[in-house]
């Protein structure tokens, strides 16, 4: 199957699973739907760059000091996930970790930051390594920092 067709199937599957996981996560304050394969999940809300509407996606995250780190893997597909292109266009995001909601500023990690964070990300979710091998796209790592007061 051509990559474009695979991507459309992955997009549809991700959308359905994300909606169910988001509902479960919010309903239980993250007690259910808060882990994937043992890795912790957060809910990321971006503003659609075309629609202007909020879009929420459950994602695996890594805490790095005050920062939260996520990976724009899209299971190794050749295009970036929509949430990533949304936050590149508008880096002000909302994050839910358990019942706690806060706004953060997102940015793509530098090459040096990714080199430092990638082994820790693969340790909590080994599939990231396979995803990177599956695509020629450099999978972005995103750092979300607390917004200054």
Give pLDDT tens digits for 35-60.
888 899 999 999 999 999 999 999 99
Q: What is the pLDDT of residues 72-112, one digit of tens each?
A: 998 888 889 999 999 999 999 999 999 999 999 999 999 99
Residue 1 has pLDDT above 50, yes or no: no
Predicted TM-score (pTM) of this structure = 0.86
CA 120/CA 33 separation, integer angstroms: 22
Q: How many CA atoms lie within 13 A of 145 on its CB side?
A: 6
Residue 130 has pLDDT above 60, yes or no: yes
Strands (E), the chain: 35-36, 39-47, 54-60, 62-64, 67-71, 92-97, 100-108, 141-146
Class of domain 3-146: mainly beta
What the block records as the tokens of 104 is: 């953060």
50 backbone dihedrals φ, ψ, rounded to 5°: -100, -45
Higher pLDDT, 54 or 22: 54
């Amino acid at each position: 199957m051509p990559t474009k067709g695979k991507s459309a199937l992955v997009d549809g599957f991700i959308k359905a699973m994300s909606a169910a996981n988001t509902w479960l996560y919010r309903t239980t304050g993250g007690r259910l739907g808060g882990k994937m394969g043992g890795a912790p999940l957060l809910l990321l809300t971006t503003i659609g760059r075309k629609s202007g509407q909020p879009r929420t996606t459950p994602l695996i995250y890594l805490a790095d000091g005050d920062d939260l780190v996520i990976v724009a893997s899209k299971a190794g597909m050749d295009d970036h996930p929509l949430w990533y292109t949304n936050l590149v266009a508008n880096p002000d995001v909302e994050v839910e970790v358990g019942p706690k909601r806060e706004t953060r500023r997102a940015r793509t990690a530098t090459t040096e930051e990714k080199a430092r964070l990638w082994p820790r990300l693969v340790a909590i979710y080994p599939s990231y390594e396979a995803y990177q091998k599956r695509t020629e796209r450099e999978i972005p790592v995103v750092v979300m920092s607390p917004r200054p007061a």
